[in-house]
């Protein structure tokens, strides 16, 4: 029996100070010896867990793998490996209660984007391709189903179900190739569930919202570049019609009408950068019977300059002065002078403990703005050797240009890369990371 020496990535740190100096990626390596063909026990003192696994002569995981709490011996994770990937089913536990059961494809994987990270907090990068049902349970109360999802080759397909802690159905969402598709229902615990319709992830059709008693309160017609929303009173009568049209640069024009189709409001909004949603930005006007009664302007949700009120004959009756545009710009909250993001290393073997990368970004940079928009970004580092490596970003929630920005930024941050060696031969590997906005 021979020994296999694995170099384990223990800690990474990456810091960019106010964009004044080039950041450096510092590596600290430790080593551990594992035995080929037999069960190995590894204690992770950092995360206080015990890992049991079997590795073959090609440095691949095969057979059962378990993770237990080092203090209580309570099981945390249990699965079956084949050639470094999870197969069959795997189970997760919390305080000895089952919290998740996932089924995996017998042969992994059809595409890199289908890789998942099914392991608990204490260990990253045991990989598998979800295939079949996935059941997620509440930690409290125990053994109560929270979600039932279905996968084909790593992608959600068909109906996915969500339940409340008392067992009531909350939502049914339809997926096709991991994108929302066809009709979905939310707030199913009410008498009538809300209706949402998608085509390959794009909202379309008529979306409907109902009160707890089953009365239609809102109907939105989703069309390319425009939405029309009808708001109803409690007795079912039409109250307001809202038309929303989009334009270049994430700006939206809103027009509201009364039941006689007379214009009552016209205003503009734009997408927020620091969080999800929209904010008023641009001219705002109100009308009564087609006559202008109020006019003013917003800048990023703040009233600016002069707001004027008019009577029904169009005569000015009131004028209020608010901050100037420049003052409003200066009054905007600084979106964190320093933005920290944590990246979890996703590598096994050789990583037996979870490493992190801490990034500090200067303000007003492309990456900072990107993190305001997208709070989690997945990327990978493909290492062939210490001098031959590539940053990969296939994150679908951002644009191609934004992915290029991520790749360029991370590439510029790397100063040193060390490959993994097995029996004096360098082993290729891919590490998977997730940037998390804080």
CA–CA separation, 431 and 119 (whole Å): 15
List helix spans (H) across 260-384: 325-331, 366-373
Residue 173: the pLDDT is: 97
Half-sphere exposure of residue 219: CA atoms within 13 angstroms, side-chain side:
11
Identify which of 181, 139, 176, 146 has the alpha carbon closest to the alpha carbon of residue 161.
Answer: 146
Tokens at 425, concatenated: 């031969």
What would you report as the CA-atom Rg of the chain, rounded to the nearest whole angstrom?
Answer: 27
Q: Sorting pLDDT into bands at 50, 70 and 90, what band is 294?
A: very high
What is the SS3 assignment for 204?
A: coil
423-435 mean pLDDT: 58
**Which backbone phi and psi does 409 adopt, to 5 degrees?**
-65, -50
Q: Which residue has the higher pLDDT, 103 or 432?
A: 103
Residue 13: the pLDDT is: 27
Residue 434: the pLDDT is: 66
Residue 117: the pLDDT is: 44
Identify which of 82, 26, 25 has the alpha carbon closest to the alpha carbon of residue 56.
Answer: 82
Tokens at 283, concatenated: 């001219």
pLDDT tens digits for 3-48? 333 333 322 222 222 233 333 333 322 334 455 566 766 666 656 7
Residue 45: the pLDDT is: 62
Q: Sorting pLDDT into bands at 50, 70 and 90, what band is 415?
A: low
Q: Angle, to 10 degrees, between the axis of helix 400-413 and the axis of helix 366-373?
A: 130
162-177 mean pLDDT: 95
What is the SS3 assignment for 430?
A: strand
CA–CA separation, 191 and 214 (whole Å): 5
Residue 109: the pLDDT is: 62
Q: Which residue has the higher pLDDT, 149 or 50?
A: 149
- How long is the chain? 438
Q: Which residue has the higher pLDDT, 111 or 393?
A: 393
CA–CA separation, 80 and 89 (whole Å): 7
Q: Which of 47-61, 257-271, 354-368, 383-397 has the lowest mean pLDDT?
A: 354-368
Q: Which of 261-275, 329-343, 423-437 has the lowest mean pLDDT?
A: 329-343
Identify which of 130, 145, 160 has the alpha carbon closest to the alpha carbon of residue 98.
Answer: 145
Tokens at 386, concatenated: 């210490």
CA distances from 115 to 381, 389, 391, 431 (A): 14, 20, 17, 12
Strands 127-128 and 85-94 come out as: parallel
Residue 338: the pLDDT is: 34
pLDDT tens digits for 308-328? 999 988 899 999 999 998 888
Q: Which residue has the higher pLDDT, 24 or 437?
A: 437
What is the SS3 assignment for 369?
A: helix
Tokens at 55, concatenated: 């590795």
pLDDT tens digits for 109-164? 655 444 444 444 434 456 778 899 999 999 889 999 999 999 998 889 999 999 99
Whether 348 has a pLDDT exceeding 70, the answer reads no
Residue 405: the pLDDT is: 83
Identify which of 119, 130, 166 has the alpha carbon closest to the alpha carbon of residue 146.
Answer: 166
Whether 223 has a pLDDT exceeding 80, the answer reads yes
Identify which of 337, 378, 275, 419 has the alpha carbon closest to the alpha carbon of residue 16.
Answer: 337
The residue behind tokens 């992994």 is 108
**Which backbone phi and psi does 122 adopt, to 5 degrees?**
-75, -15
Q: Which helix (H) or strand (E) holds 64?
A: strand 63-69
CA–CA separation, 185 and 355 (whole Å): 40
178-188 mean pLDDT: 95
Q: Which of 15-24, 69-78, 346-355, 374-383 has the highest mean pLDDT?
A: 69-78
Tokens at 138, concatenated: 């509440």
pLDDT tens digits for 242-281? 999 876 666 889 999 998 889 999 999 987 765 667 889 9
CA–CA separation, 375 and 335 (whole Å): 14
Q: Which residue has the higher pLDDT, 3 or 430?
A: 430
Whether 380 has a pLDDT exceeding 60, the answer reads yes
Q: Sorting pLDDT into bands at 50, 70 and 90, what band is 389?
A: confident
Tokens at 314, concatenated: 């169009």
CA–CA separation, 137 and 261 (whole Å): 49
Whether 181 has a pLDDT exceeding 80, the answer reads yes
CA–CA separation, 103 and 271 (whole Å): 38
Residue 44: the pLDDT is: 61
Residue 288: the pLDDT is: 93
Q: Which residue has the higher pLDDT, 47 or 236?
A: 236
Beta strands in 179-247 (DSSP E): 179-180, 182-186, 194-199, 202-203, 205-210, 216-223, 226-232, 238-246
Average pLDDT, the chain: 75
Q: Which residue has the higher pLDDT, 136 or 2?
A: 136
Identify which of 353, 423, 354 has the alpha carbon closest to the alpha carbon of residue 56.
Answer: 423
402-417 mean pLDDT: 76
Tokens at 383, concatenated: 């290492």
Residue 333: the pLDDT is: 59
Asked if 310 and 293 touch (Cβ cutoff 8 Å), the reply is yes
The residue behind tokens 């200066």 is 330
Q: Where are the domains of the chain?
A: 37-156, 225-271+275-332, 339-437
Q: In the chain, pLDDT over 70 holds for what percent of residues?
A: 66
């Amino acid at each position: 029996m021979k020994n296999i020496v694995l170099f384990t990535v223990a800690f990474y740190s990456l810091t960019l100070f106010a964009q004044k100096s080039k950041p450096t990626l510092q590596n600290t390596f430790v080593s551990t010896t594992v035995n080929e063909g037999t069960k190995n026990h590894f204690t992770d003192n950092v995360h206080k867990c015990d890992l049991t696994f079997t590795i073959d002569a090609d440095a691949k995981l095969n057979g059962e793998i378990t993770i237990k709490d080092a203090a209580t011996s309570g099981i945390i994770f249990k699965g079956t490996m084949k050639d470094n990937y999870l197969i069959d089913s795997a189970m997760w536990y919390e305080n000895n209660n089952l919290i998740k059961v996932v089924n995996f494809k017998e042969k992994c994987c059809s595409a890199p984007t289908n890789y998942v990270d099914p392991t608990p907090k204490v260990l990253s990068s045991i990989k598998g391709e979800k295939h079949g049902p996935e059941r997620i349970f509440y930690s409290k109360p125990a053994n109560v189903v929270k979600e039932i999802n279905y996968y084909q080759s790593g992608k959600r397909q068909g109906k996915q179900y969500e339940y409340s802690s008392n067992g009531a159905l909350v939502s049914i969402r339809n997926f096709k190739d991991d994108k929302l598709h066809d009709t979905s229902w939310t707030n199913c615990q009410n008498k009538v569930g809300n209706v949402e319709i998608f085509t390959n992830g794009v909202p379309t059709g008529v979306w409907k919202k109902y009160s707890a008693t089953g009365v239609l309160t809102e109907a939105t017609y989703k069309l390319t570049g425009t939405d029309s929303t009808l708001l109803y009173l409690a007795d079912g009568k039409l109250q307001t019609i809202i038309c929303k049209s989009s334009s270049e640069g994430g700006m939206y024009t809103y027009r509201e009408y009364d039941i006689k189709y007379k214009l009552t409001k016209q205003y503009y909004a734009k997408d927020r950068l620091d969080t999800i949603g929209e904010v008023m930005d641009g001219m705002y006007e109100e009308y009564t019977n087609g006559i202008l009664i109020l006019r003013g302007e917003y800048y990023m949700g703040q009233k600016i300059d002069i707001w004027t009120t008019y009577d029904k004959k169009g005569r000015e009756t009131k004028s209020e002065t608010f901050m100037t545009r420049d003052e409003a710009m200066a009054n905007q909250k600084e979106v964190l002078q320093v933005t920290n993001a944590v990246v979890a290393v996703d590598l096994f073997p050789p990583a037996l403990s979870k490493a992190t990368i801490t990034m500090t970004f200067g303000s007003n940079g492309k990456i900072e703005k990107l993190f305001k928009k997208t709070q989690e970004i997945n990327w990978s580092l493909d290492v062939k050797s210490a001098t031959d490596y590539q940053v990969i970003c296939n994150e679908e929630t951002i644009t191609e240009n934004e992915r290029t920005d991520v790749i360029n930024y991370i590439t510029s941050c790397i100063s040193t890369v060390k490959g993994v060696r097995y029996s004096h031969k360098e082993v290729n590997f891919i590490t998977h990371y997730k940037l998390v906005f804080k």
